Amino acid sequence: MKRFSEREGFKPAREAFQVDTVDEPLRTKLWNVLQVFVLNHIRLEYNFPNSFVHKFIYDLWWEHFEFSIETTPEHFTPFFLFIKSEILQEARETPWYEIYDFIEYCLNNFQFSITHKIEDFRETCNYWLKQEMSA
């Protein structure tokens, strides 16, 4: 739905689909979805070595990012900042498709909680992709 400022002509409305790109508003919205559904849960469980979160982080680090296991951050903050730089990178050096790869990896591998279900994560991502006209 167009905003008031777009409907009244004060601000141009998006008219073209985002193809082979992810603009700043969409990056930010996808980042927020990742924070709510995945990263906030990881933050709570990061220091419990026997939790599924710990396994997810190791698998993410060596399967998805293909980094050596000894470089896995020992604390949440460096992990969080790395993920944030990959999604919201100021220089926008992360290709658009790698953001989608990361979201897909989370969908396929993260153990979602009772309060934040995988269906909710998927629906929320799809909602913002549609709102921001991502093709």
pLDDT digit string, tens, across residues 68-99: 989 999 888 999 888 888 877 654 567 888 88
Question: What number of other Cβ atoms are within 10 A of residue 34's Cβ?
Answer: 23
User: What does the block give as tokens for 112?
Assistant: 């979602």
Whether the full predicted model's pTM is greater than 0.75, yes or no, is yes
Is residue 23 a contact partner of residue 132, using CB atoms and an 8 Å limit? yes
Helix (H) or strand (E) holding 54: helix 52-59
60 pLDDT above the threshold of 90: yes
Q: What is the pLDDT of residue 91?
A: 46
pLDDT digit string, tens, across residues 11-30: 776 666 777 777 888 888 99
Distance CA 98, CA 27 (A): 12
Distance CA 10, CA 92 (A): 28
4 pLDDT above the threshold of 60: yes
Q: What is the pLDDT of residue 129?
A: 85
With CA atoms as reference, report the closest residue to 102 among 31, 21, 4. Answer: 31
